[in-house]
Amino acid sequence: MNLGRRGFLQSAALVGAGATVAAGTTGFTSLNKALLGSSATAVGLRCKPLEKIRVGVIGLGARGPGAVQTYANLPGVEVTALSDLFQDRAEGQQKWLKEKGKPDAALYAGSENAWKKLCESDKVDLVHVTTPWLLHTPMALYAMKCGKHVAIEVPAAVTVDQCWALVEASEKTRSHCMMLENCCYGESEMFALSLCRKGVLGELVHGEGAYLHDLASYKFSKTGYQGMWRLNFSKEHTGNPYPMHGMGPICQYMDINRGDNFEYLTSISSNQFGLTQYAVDTFGKNSPEAKETYKLGDMNTTVIKTRRGRTIMVQHNTTNPRPYSRINTITGTKGTLTDYPLRVALAPAAHEWMNDKDLNELKAKYVHPLWDKNGEAAKKAGGHGGMDYLLLLRLCHCLHNGLPLDISVYDTALWSSVVELSERSVLKRGASVDVPDFTRGAWKTTEPLGLVDVG
């Protein structure tokens, strides 16, 4: 990976769909000079309210259809454009829109650069990017260059340079750039945020998050990740390539970028065992899959120190057989919440977890307003238990009303930067690595995220 912190933006580009991040290069070409440099901060960015939000979705494989169908059912929102490398995927979503009595969307599909036409369309206000990781940043940058707001699947970027590019493009174009971290809208996560905001856990001290999800069979599937891009990333990189599902909510609990910030991190990975073992068991010990070299260690553990002296542990393991967990632990001076399953312990009775009755009463008392008012609709809509619905509901509410977004471009950049920074630390035997301040000091005076709603 390119290890520079900001030099990328001065000489790198956003215009190529074929931008790749192989070992040692970001792969971008020259950036349009009109976007060079930064202007006013995008902290608390408010944009012109949109009475009707016209959405274009790029990527209609695994997650794209869910986004199309959620947007199409939100008030004041219309899916006006669809793009995918494969024509039949775009046509499939067009068919769904017709069946539901929704207006036709423009189709931009069948070629590698078709998505650019979607970004250029004057019938699109918000570009929703759900494609392989290496395309997230170039697509987001091009969308902002075209004057569009952009919502990007996780991770939004895979290098620190890309993170800076997103920040400075948002600042220059005055367009929103939000990473679609749906786990920040999970029921347990928003309950935890409510406890934190109400002071129930006291002064926050330590958080733990993770993405522990056995994806070995899916990585090796020819019909899983398009072109097997996730397995290919595992061949090229180590560290934590997907830190934000567990880490993002912890950052919101701790007011990261809004009163605190990352200072440095240290990261170590186990050796790689599981992908090779899976390949041996599935394809045979003499198969090309079994003889391949995979760099991604099975278990990565990254520890982050914040400027206010708190710590965050974030783990990644998508290889070994184990139940799914994001850990979701937050500890303060008055108590602890941890998840999978959800448990709470509060002083002075913190030596044992609350019983079910007391926990249910606590949940009812401190339910987050977004879940309190919209939880039933969210669960009915589905999408990872309703969190996907609430994410897009809240995003569109902010765009309708000209409000700052819950996950800013600075959050998008900071959370994504751990992808490269964790790899740097692993390759240096766990040596500490400084984390850039993408807010340029604005974290000291930025207001914390409140208990937001859509009412």
CATH number for the domain harbouring residue 133? 3.40.50.720
* Any domain includes 302: yes
The answer to whether residues 196 and 174 belong to one domain is: no
Residue-wise pLDDT tens digits, 13-52: 333 333 333 333 233 333 333 343 445 899 999 999 999 9
Residue-wise pLDDT tens digits, 236-291: 999 999 999 999 999 999 999 999 999 999 999 999 999 999 999 999 999 999 99
* Any domain includes 55: yes
**What does the alpha-carbon distance between residue 250 and residue 193 come to, in Å, rounded to a whole number?**
9
The answer to whether residues 430 and 342 belong to one domain is: yes
Of residues 195, 209, 197, 448, the one with CA closest to residue 336 = 195
Residue-wise pLDDT tens digits, 366-382: 999 999 999 999 999 98
**What does the alpha-carbon distance between residue 235 and residue 272 come to, in Å, rounded to a whole number?**
10
The single-letter code of the amino acid at 344 is V
Q: Which two tokens stand for residue 246?
A: 């567990």
* Any domain includes 389: no
* Any domain includes 22: yes
Mean pLDDT of each 10-residue bin along the chain, 455 residues long: 38 32 32 46 97 98 96 98 98 98 97 97 98 98 98 98 98 98 98 98 98 98 94 98 98 98 98 98 98 98 99 98 98 98 97 98 98 96 95 98 98 98 98 98 97 94
pLDDT score at 39: 56
Residue where a domain stops, chosen among 182, 208, 237: 182
Residue where a domain stops, chosen among 182, 210, 237: 182
pTM of the model: 0.92
Q: How many structural domains is the chain composed of?
A: 2
Residue where a domain stops, chosen among 155, 182, 209: 182
* Any domain includes 198: yes
The answer to whether residues 177 and 194 belong to one domain is: no
Of residues 346, 354, 254, 339, the one with CA closest to residue 304 = 254
pLDDT score at 455: 82
Domain that holds residue 64: 7-182
The answer to whether residues 281 and 332 belong to one domain is: yes
341 cis-preceded (ω within 30 degrees of 0)? yes
Q: In a 10 Å sphere around its CB, with 0-12 CB exposed, 13-18 middle and 19+ buried, how is residue 75 labelled?
A: exposed
The answer to whether residues 132 and 235 belong to one domain is: no
